[in-house]
């Protein structure tokens, strides 16, 4: 059987090398508009990961915030920008040093949960993921990060 | 040296701490010479206390008055526009038009950092929830330096509620800049959080124990804290632990003659009143330390004291 080419959409974004089982979570956190055509492949054979998930989004180029969000739960993912059926740009996602406005603070008493302010975190460890709230100084581990994605 | 805000002890290195302590000492000497100080003449401090704290508020107000400045403010949220639903950010934007420096105490963690980002005038944190109380830490260090003439080469026990006590968290962190030995003495269940122990354990020697009696003969300073009933999620847990340690004359029979007992106050029953009149008690002198230290901080952030 012929393998699907990663660029098999006309224009948009392909998120490849998502750890197997995380594809639907990635889709959930991206909260994409309903009018985008989205193709999801789960548990696809992968040389790099053994098994992987893939998401193809027709007609949508992900912005930096969206790519950073993916990095928090699928650090192995690659983001391919597609134009006229070709990959025109390929990016590895990377957890940034600072994360602004995409996760809420897990501390229920943090001021960011009460005021109109973008939550801001300093990444104190990328592996394992550990974030420190810029405001309340409380740290969050990876399992809390996933639960608190905005 | 100049810094704009005082939000977290984590923003302070040893150099900044020493600079504050030196400036406080100089101002205290000037006060002792009966000088009427005018460093902050014409400057206004706004004290925004969204939750009550008489001691800290009086200390800041006293410091500002002693610098020759004046004070406006409120002592609880119910007497401010917060009661009408005003956001913290709007309160700060409004108050900064009336004052030259803001001191804020707020029940939410991170409130002081947010206020400092909003305000164009300096902001000093007088306590944000269970997070930080940096001026308390600086006055604790100042007290130690006054009592012993140094901070280095001392053995210091932090006793009591080490789990919920923000003063002991910040103090432990600040003491890690010095050559001291620390003893964390807590009832079971109220031990110092692991992340704090791990953060500072490679910088200094730490002993963790539940046994106060074994530590007493060793230490130069016994920094006692109250078990904070209000921080316990379960009142039954508080009832189990309350009264589990008490500093009294019997305990102190085994102490060094030069031992000093400190306490951020208020106390409940953890230090017997009979200790007050002994050579060990330093806690009421510690209260006074708040004034020169806060004078130094106000003067530095206002740019009127070098």
As a whole number, mean pLDDT of residues B286-296 equals: 98
**Together in a domain, B182 and B272:** yes
Q: What is the pTM of this model?
A: 0.88
Task: Using alpha carbons only, give the angle B267, B269, B272 rounded to the nearest 5 degrees.
Answer: 95
What is the per-residue pLDDT for B223? 98
What is the per-residue pLDDT for B55? 92
Q: Is residue A2 part of a domain?
A: no
* Residue B294 annotated in ligand binding: no
Tell me which residue in B114, B128, B132 faces A117 most closely, judged by beta carbons: B114
Angstrom CA distances, B254 to B186, B277, B283, stand at: 19, 17, 20
Which residues are bridge partners to A149 per DSSP?
A: A103
Q: Is residue A5 part of a domain?
A: no
CATH number, position A49: 3.30.70.140
Chain B residues lying within 8 Å of A136, measured CB to CB: 108-110, 128-129, 131
pLDDT class of A7 with cuts at 50, 70, 90: low
Higher pLDDT: A103 or B27? It is B27
**Together in a domain, B162 and B119:** no
Which residues are bridge partners to B48 per DSSP?
A: B74, B104
Instruction: Give B 187-216 residues with CB within 8 A of chain A.
Output: 195
**Together in a domain, A69 and A103:** no
**Together in a domain, B117 and B200:** no
**Together in a domain, A83 and A141:** no
Chain B residues lying within 8 Å of A135, measured CB to CB: 109-111, 113-114
What is the per-residue pLDDT for A3? 56
CATH number, position B167: 3.40.50.1370
Chain B residues lying within 8 Å of A137, measured CB to CB: 8, 10, 109-110, 131-132
Instruction: Give B 112-131 residues with CB within 8 A of chain A.
Output: 113-114, 128-131
Q: Is residue A136 part of a domain?
A: yes
Q: Is residue A126 part of a domain?
A: yes
**Together in a domain, B63 and B138:** no
User: Three-class SS of residue B53?
Assistant: coil
pLDDT class of A5 with cuts at 50, 70, 90: low
**Together in a domain, A140 and A83:** no
Which residues of B carry out catalysis?
55-56, 84, 105, 133
**Together in a domain, A65 and A46:** yes
**Together in a domain, B91 and B30:** yes
Judging by DSSP bridges, how do beta strands B181-185 and A98-100 pair with one another? Answer: unpaired
As a whole number, mean pLDDT of residues B119-147 equals: 96
**Together in a domain, B106 and B128:** yes
**Together in a domain, A32 and A86:** yes
Domain that holds residue B202: 134-286
Q: Is residue B298 part of a domain?
A: yes
What's the rounded Cα separation, in Å, for the pair B143 and B29? Answer: 15
**Together in a domain, A29 and A85:** yes
Task: Using alpha carbons only, give the angle B222, B228, B230 rounded to the nearest 5 degrees.
Answer: 170
* Residue A117 annotated in ligand binding: no
**Together in a domain, A57 and A109:** no
Inspect the interface and report whether the beta carbons of B108 and A110 lie closer than 8 Å.
yes
CB atoms within 10 A of CB B147: 18
**Together in a domain, A46 and A84:** yes
Q: Is residue B241 part of a domain?
A: yes
**Together in a domain, A60 and A102:** no
pLDDT in tens, A104-145: 999 999 999 999 999 999 999 988 899 999 999 999 998 888
Q: Is residue B123 part of a domain?
A: yes
Q: A112 and chain B: CB distance < 8 Å anywhere?
A: yes
Higher pLDDT: A22 or B294? It is B294
Q: Is residue B270 part of a domain?
A: yes
Closest CA of chain A from B293, distance in Å: 24
Instruction: Give A 26-85 residues with CB within 8 A of chain B.
Output: none
Tokens of residue B29, six digits? 């000497």
Chain B residues lying within 8 Å of A107, measured CB to CB: 109
Sheet holding A120-126, edge to edge: A98-100, A120-126, A129-133, A139-141
Domain count within chain B: 2
What is the per-residue pLDDT for A2? 54
Q: Is residue B194 part of a domain?
A: yes
Helix/strand/coil percentages in chain A, nearest 5: 20, 40, 40
Closest CA of chain B from A132, distance in Å: 12
Q: Is residue B3 part of a domain?
A: no
Q: Is residue B2 part of a domain?
A: no
pLDDT in tens, B23-53: 999 999 999 998 889 999 999 999 999 998 8
**Together in a domain, B167 and B182:** yes
**Together in a domain, B236 and B149:** yes
Instruction: Tell which of A44, A67, A92 closes a domain.
Output: A92
Q: Is residue B26 part of a domain?
A: yes
Domain count within chain A: 2
* Residue B106 annotated in ligand binding: no
Top residue of A114, A119, A137, A138 to mutate, by most chain B CBs within 10 Å, is A137
pLDDT in tens, B152-210: 999 999 999 999 888 999 999 999 999 999 999 999 989 999 989 998 999 999 999 99
> Ramachandran region of residue A85, left (φ > 0), alpha (ψ -120 to 50) or beta?
left
**Together in a domain, A129 and A85:** no
pLDDT in tens, B229-274: 777 778 887 787 887 889 999 999 999 999 999 999 989 889 999 9
Q: Is residue A80 part of a domain?
A: yes
Domain that holds residue A108: 98-148
What value of ipTM does the predicted structure carry? Answer: 0.89
As a whole number, mean pLDDT of residues A83-88 equals: 92
Instruction: Give A 128-147 residues with CB within 8 A of chain B.
Output: 133-139
**Together in a domain, A85 and A35:** yes
């Amino acid at each position: 059987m012929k393998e699907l080419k990663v660029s098999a959409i006309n224009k948009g974004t392909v998120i490849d090398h998502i750890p197997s089982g995380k594809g639907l979570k990635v889709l959930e956190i991206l909260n994409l508009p309903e009018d985008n055509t989205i193709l999801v492949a789960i548990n696809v054979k992968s040389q790099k990961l053994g098994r992987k998930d893939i998401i193809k989004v027709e007609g949508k180029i992900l912005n930096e915030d969206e790519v950073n969000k993916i990095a928090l739960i699928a650090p192995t993912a690659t983001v391919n920008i597609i134009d006229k059926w070709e990959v025109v740009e390929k990016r590895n996602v990377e957890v940034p040093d600072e994360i602004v406005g995409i996760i809420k603070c897990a501390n229920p008493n943090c001021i960011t949960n009460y005021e109109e302010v973008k939550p801001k975190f300093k990444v104190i460890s990328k592996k394992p993921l550990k974030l420190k709230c810029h405001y309340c100084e409380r740290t969050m581990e990876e399992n809390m990060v996933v639960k608190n994605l905005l | 040296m100049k810094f704009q805000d005082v939000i977290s002890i984590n923003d302070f290195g040893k150099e900044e701490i020493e600079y504050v302590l030196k400036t406080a000492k100089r101002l205290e000497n000037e006060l002792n010479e009966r000088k009427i100080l005018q460093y902050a003449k014409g400057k206004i401090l706004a004290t925004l206390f969204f939750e009550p704290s008489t001691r800290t508020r009086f200390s800041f107000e006293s410091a500002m008055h002693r610098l020759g400045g004046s004070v406006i403010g409120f002592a609880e949220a119910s007497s401010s526009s917060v009661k009408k639903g005003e956001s913290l950010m709007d309160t700060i934007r409004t108050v900064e038009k009336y004052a030259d420096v803001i001191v804020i105490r707020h029940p939410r963690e991170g409130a002081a950092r947010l206020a400092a980002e909003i305000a164009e005038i300096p902001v000093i944190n007088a306590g944000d929830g269970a997070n930080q109380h940096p001026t308390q830490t600086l006055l604790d260090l100042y007290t130690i330096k006054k009592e012993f003439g140094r901070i280095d080469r001392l053995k210091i026990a932090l006793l009591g509620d080490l789990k919920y006590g923000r003063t002991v968290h910040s103090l432990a962190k600040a003491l890690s800049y010095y050559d001291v030995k620390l003893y964390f003495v807590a009832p079971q269940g109220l031990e110092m959080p692991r992340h704090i122990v791990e953060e500072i354990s490679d910088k200094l020697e730490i002993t963790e124990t539940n046994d106060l009696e074994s530590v007493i003969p060793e230490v130069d300073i016994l920094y006692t804290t109250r078990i904070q009933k209000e921080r316990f999620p379960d009142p039954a847990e508080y009832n189990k632990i309350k009264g589990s340690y008490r500093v009294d004359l019997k305990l102190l029979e085994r102490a060094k003659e030069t031992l000093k007992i400190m306490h951020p106050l208020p106390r409940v029953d953890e230090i017997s009143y009979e200790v007050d009149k002994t050579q060990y008690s330093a806690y009421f002198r510690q209260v006074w330390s708040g004034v020169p230290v806060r004078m130094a901080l106000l003067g530095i952030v206002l740019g009127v004291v070098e």
